[in-house]
Amino acid sequence: MSKKLKYGMVGGSLDAFIGEVHRKAAALDSKFSLVAGAFSSSPEKSKKTGEALGLDPSRVYGSYKEMIEKESELPEEERIDVVSIVTPNHVHFDPAKLALENGFHVIMDKPITFNSQEAKDLKGIVDETGRVLALTHTYTGYPMVKEAKEYVRNGKLGKLRKVYVEYPQGWLSLPLEEDGDKQASWRTDPSRSGAGGSIGDIGTHAANLAEYVTGLKITNICADLNTKVPGRQLDDDAAALLKFEDGVSGVLMVSQIAAGEENDIKVRVYGEKAGLEWKQSDQNTLLFKPLDGPAQIIRTGTGYVSDLAKANTRTPAGHPEGYLEAFANIYVAFHKAVTDHQSGEFKSADNYDFPDVVDGIRGMVFVDTMIESSKSETKWTPFKV
């Protein structure tokens, strides 16, 4: 068994959503052990969370600054290896910066920072410290998303022509933020979420998924942003025409007011010879649609899938692998990078299959470009990183 990495968590108190997701994902393959945490800006809430998780009280801290300072003072064999950041967007940059500068590797929720400048500054710190930073764009962790990437890479679609990516949700169809809903409150608050609402929360996932599967970067955006719920401060609905490298065109749709929808992120890619389709509501299936033959159903766990898909699959065919497993695949790839770093074998994040700080920057610039394009009368706006 490979070395278990010790980690400390920033954010993720008992009443938070994404912190528990990170903890379950990190634990799934027995490659990480949670030993420390600053789970809330409230020291009392942090203490109660640590107690509930069975942690040593001496390693449950009142702030992330205290955690990083105290853990840095411990002997190397005792201190944490990794800091996991699961806070709202406005509390991403500072703990990541402090952790990297004190010698810790970082894995964090998306979007990477509050704004683009922070993301670019964070890349400078990653480059300077040489530490590993991973970003949890969850949906790239699914085996059939990786299979789709391999189909494109191996030329099974021929020259790419068109990409459609969509992420509809309906949970913000009503003004939940006015009723004190914690998740809605910070996501619709520009002082905590940043400049983007739906485009920052789920639009960055859609854009990242399209770029991951196709291997192409978005170069231009023509966007339309909307706020449908009266009084809401940020966008809750958006659509865009996209231009990718190599002359490929695309369409992106994200909405958090699509009543009745859950989290059915979906991507379709079309080339000159074939198309493919994947959606989270049927996550174990990839549809491959050749021009000169019947559609084919490709399934997770089968013997005919690529080595990349097999490496990210845990169960035999017919046993569903879902959101937590996809999330865990990012943690597994991050674990490999960190242990390689510790053994002196790490080269660069490009050698590992997880979203990194460069992907994080692209996510923030995506938000900026969507907003700029939506406000522009000329509409087509260059995507400049």
- Return the ∠ at Cα 222 (arms to 220 and 225), rounded to 5°: 130
Residue 2 scores a pLDDT above 90: no
Q: pLDDT, tens digit, for every residue of 299-350? A: 999 999 999 999 999 999 999 899 999 999 999 999 999 999 999 999 899 9
Q: pLDDT, tens digit, for every residue of 160-216? A: 999 999 999 999 999 999 999 999 999 999 999 999 999 999 999 999 999 999 999
d(CA 69, CA 90): 21
Residue 261 scores a pLDDT above 70: yes
User: Residue 166's beta-bridge partner residues?
Assistant: 253, 266
How many other C-beta atoms can be found within 10 angstroms of the C-beta atom of residue 291?
Answer: 12
Q: pLDDT, tens digit, for every residue of 84-137? A: 999 999 999 999 999 999 999 999 999 999 999 999 999 999 999 999 999 999
Distance of CA 61 to the CA centre of its chain: 26
Q: Which CATH number fits domain 142-315+364-375: 3.60.20.10, 3.40.50.620, 3.40.50.2300, 3.30.360.10?
A: 3.30.360.10
Write the class of the CATH domain 5-139+328-356: alpha beta
> What is residue 354's three-state secondary structure?
coil
Buried b (16+ CB within 10 A) or exposed e, 332-349: bbbbbbbbebeeeebeeb
The residue-averaged pLDDT of 31-51 equals 97
The residue-averaged pLDDT of 147-162 equals 98
- Return the ∠ at Cα 168 (arms to 163 and 169), rounded to 5°: 160
Say which residue the tokens 């390693």 belong to.
59
Question: How high is the pLDDT of residue 347?
Answer: 87
> What is residue 246's three-state secondary structure?
helix
User: Residue 288's beta-bridge partner residues?
Assistant: 276, 296
What are the distances in angstroms from CA 73 to CA 46, 70, 163, 264, 341? Answer: 21, 5, 50, 45, 21
Kind of pairing, strands 160-168 and 266-271? Answer: antiparallel
pTM strictly above 0.75: yes
* Residues 6 or more apart whose Cβ sits within 8 Å of residue 138: 205, 323, 326, 327, 330
**Spans of all domains in the chain:** 5-139+328-356, 142-315+364-375
Question: How high is the pLDDT of residue 1?
Answer: 56
d(CA 127, CA 132): 9
How many other C-beta atoms can be found within 10 angstroms of the C-beta atom of residue 281?
Answer: 11
